[in-house]
Structure 1
Amino acid sequence: MNSYQPLMSQAGFLNTHQVEAWDEQGNRRELSIAGESPLTIYLDKKEVVTLMTLGSRPELLTLGYLRNQGFIDSIEQVKAIQVDWEVEAVAVVTHEGVEGLEQKLQHRTITTGCGQGTVFGGLMEKIDQIQLPDVRLPQSQIYGLLDSLRQQNEIYKQAGAVHGCALCQGTEVLSFVEDVGRHNAVDTLAGEMLLQRRQGDDKIFYTTGRLTSEMVIKVAQMGIPILLSRSGVTRMGMELARQVGLTLIGRAKGKSFLVFNGQQRIDYDQKPEPMPHSQKRGQKRGSKEASP
């Protein structure tokens, strides 16, 4: 196995902050909030994008972002990744440059990512060439994985205001990342996969956020055949999932989930008892009343 690793800084930092706030009774409280800092990526001295991030794994975020945007294909292309929070920037140096870099930077599309995500020119053409492996998924495995995922979301539990993403295998959570945007979290995991040379064909990707076209594109590029979320799906996200053969599962909470694409790959081996219609109506009323 190739053991090459680029020169990388280790500039992650504390991603929650203690602040004061006053509650509805006028009482002062001390609590944690999520951190957020700008990080501008420079690729071979060319400015690419500024990301807003928690800052916990900036090198992996940068690496995954460049991989998912089609600027690099392998870890061997990268000579160094150096983060400097004093200037809120990360400098990425490649060994031989990036072919067509100027053209890619000239054509970008703003997506529906948290805040604003970006897709650069030429990326959609690459999606046309992706066909993911046909992997079956037992219903019992979905439930087991959801149980494992309940132990995560540490920053969200402390401070809120973040999204979480996880790389999973079977019912095991291999790696979990939280950031202020789900596209940052997925890019960080993509960077980790690239650095560790992990393949995606036997993995499941989980996100707390919406299943948009950007999320589907990123997960498909990582070679992962199953995308699972507790949230919903957009039309373009579903269309792209059909195009690349991605099993797309949303609204996954408790024993409930909806398969938006790839239903033929689900083995329904643990069907829950159907809920009486009157109880469903009561639950809906209760959830509305409990909503903030």
Structure 2
Amino acid sequence: MSDMIINRKILSYRNGELKEKEDIIVTEFPLTIMLNGVEFATMVCTPTDIEEMVVGFLGSEGVILNYQKDIQSISIDESKGFAYVETTRKVTPSVESQTKRFIGSCCGKSRQSFYFQNDVKTAKTATTTQTITYHQCIELMQSLQSTSEIFKETGGVHNAALCTQDKLILSRTDIGRHNALDKLYGNCLMHKIMVRDKILIFSGRISSEILLKASKIGVGILLSKSAPTELALQAAEELNISTAGFIRGNRVNVYTHPERFVLNN
């Protein structure tokens, strides 16, 4: 935890009084991924679970499919901010493939969605038959919030967890919404955790990019404390992902594929 936070003196104004105090600030860590000797991506992240994040990011980008077979070596140089990855299949993605937008219909339907080209290849249509009660949604969100000590101290991170109906299995924290999900995905790839019938719970907004991350991980139920965007919900409809947001107190808003949300088991 010490790598994730730092103490800093600040001025605090409250109720008409100005005081100097010490506050806890979340840290940032720039990391550049070198893929087969070529600079692939630079991300700013929370300096924990870095190898998991790199593996998850490469998995979501379609660079690797199987951690054990596709990764030849991976080393992290935290002092210089580099991750060096060698793959068994010498992939050297072009800049165009990472940045050029692709416009097309998802899952063969007529409604058009906007994706990066690699998203078209790696987004998965959910096939889970898992269901969850509204009460379980609320309990899982409460568990996510209560277990995040860094958020309690700083308010500056996002939390994500992989769950069953009844409990959190694996949780990760990062300043970046995408990074928190990549850390989860990386752990699943590294430890061969089956995710199809798991539930993904998230503290941030469900944007279209977050929805696609969930799709790439392979879950069919995505729960959030915050709001969704319309493009995210269009993608969720097409990718057969059930989404719920504004899970706060005793409230749950269901947006897509409500058949997976039930009153009682």
Q: Give 5+ residue unaligned stretches, structure 2.
A: 102-114
Q: Residues 192-226 of structure 1, C-alpha deviation per residue, up to 9 Å, x if partnerless?
A: 00011011122110111111111111111111110
Is the aligned partner of 1:79 residue 2:75?
no
2:32 aligns with one of 25, 40, 48: 40
Paired residues of 1:199 and 1:223 also in contact (CA < 8 A)? no
Residue in 2 that maps onto 1:15: 4
Q: Contact 1:233 / 1:250 at 8 angstroms: preserved in 2?
A: yes
TM-score w.r.t. length of structure 2? 0.87
Distance 1:57 1:13 in 2: 13
Quote the residue 1:288 is aligned against: none
Q: Which residue of 2 aligns with 1:124?
A: 120
Q: CA RMSD in A?
A: 2.0
Partner of 1:102: 93
Answer whether contact 1:69 1:120 (CA < 8 A) is retained. Answer: no
Verify the 8 A CA contact 2:62 2:121 in the aligned structure 1. Answer: no
Bigger strand fraction: 2
Shift in Å, 1:121 = 2.9
Q: Name whichever of 245-254 and 139-148 sits farther off.
A: 139-148
Q: Show structure 1 runs of 5+ residues with no match.
A: 1-11, 112-118, 271-292
Q: How does 1:61-210 map to 2 (within 5 A)?
A: 61-75=53-67, 76-98=69-91, 101-103=92-94, 105-109=95-99, 121-127=117-123, 130-210=125-205
Matching residue's letter, 1:261? T
- Which AA in structure 2 matches 1:137? I
Candidates 251, 260, 265, aligned match of 1:265 = 260
Paired with 2:74 and 2:116, the residues of 1 have a C-alpha distance of 21
Query: What is the identity, as a one-letter code, of the residue corresponding to 1:87?
Result: K
CA contact (8 A) 2:100 2:117 kept: no
Structure-to-structure mapping, 1:52-63, within 5 angstroms: 52-63=44-55
Task: Tell me the SS of whatever aligns to 1:26.
Answer: strand
Q: For 1:215-230, list aligned pairs within 5 A.
A: 215-230=210-225
- Matching residue's letter, 1:124: V
Equivalent pairs: percent with the same residue?
26
CA contact (8 A) 2:138 2:249 kept: yes
Q: Which moved more, 1:29-38 or 1:135-144?
A: 135-144
CA contact under 8 A between 1:228 and 1:250: conserved in structure 2? yes
Q: Using the alignment, how far apart are the partners of 1:169 and 1:109 within structure 2? A: 35
